[in-house]
């Protein structure tokens, strides 16, 4: 069996200005990052499924975490300020309830 190895292109690894310009295919850097993160999530999920099928659980678990990280990067959600304030109020109420005797 021959060994295969993936490598990033030299220009992608060394070009510090790559994220500051609009890429040639018309995508903004943010769109390009989202698409790349989606692609990585899909590939990692395939690797995780291969590991699960081969019962390689020690390999499968880190791939599961990597999948969620890539998926989260691809599907970022800004939490509304009102929700953040609501969570803070609930936290304070919970802490106050824990301090009260009885």
41, burial (CB in 10 Å: exposed 0-12, middle 13-18, buried 19+)? buried
- Walking along the chain (102 residues) 10 residues at a time, the average pLDDT comes out as 56 51 68 91 95 94 94 89 93 89 69
Which tokens go with 50? 């291969």
> Which pLDDT does position 47 carry in this prediction?
96
The pTM for the full model equals 0.55
> Which pLDDT does position 8 carry in this prediction?
54
> Which pLDDT does position 100 carry in this prediction?
81
Name residue, tokens 């304030």: 85
> Which pLDDT does position 19 carry in this prediction?
46
User: What are the CA-CA distances from residue 42 to residues 12, 21, 26 (Å)?
Assistant: 20, 26, 23
Name residue, tokens 């590991």: 51
Name residue, tokens 């699960």: 52
Give the residue among 31, 10, 8, 9 at the shortest CA–CA distance from 19: 31
Structural domain boundaries in the chain: 26-99
């Amino acid at each position: 069996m021959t060994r295969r190895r993936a490598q990033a292109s030299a220009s992608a690894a060394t070009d510090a200005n790559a994220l500051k310009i609009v890429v040639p295919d018309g995508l903004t850097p943010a769109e390009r990052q989202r698409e790349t993160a989606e692609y990585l999530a899909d590939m990692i999920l395939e690797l995780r499924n291969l590991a699960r099928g081969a019962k390689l659980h020690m390999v499968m678990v880190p791939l599961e975490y990597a999948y969620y990280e890539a998926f989260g990067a691809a599907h970022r959600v800004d939490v509304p300020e009102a929700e953040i304030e609501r969570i803070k109020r609930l936290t304070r109420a919970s802490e106050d309830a824990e301090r009260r005797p009885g």
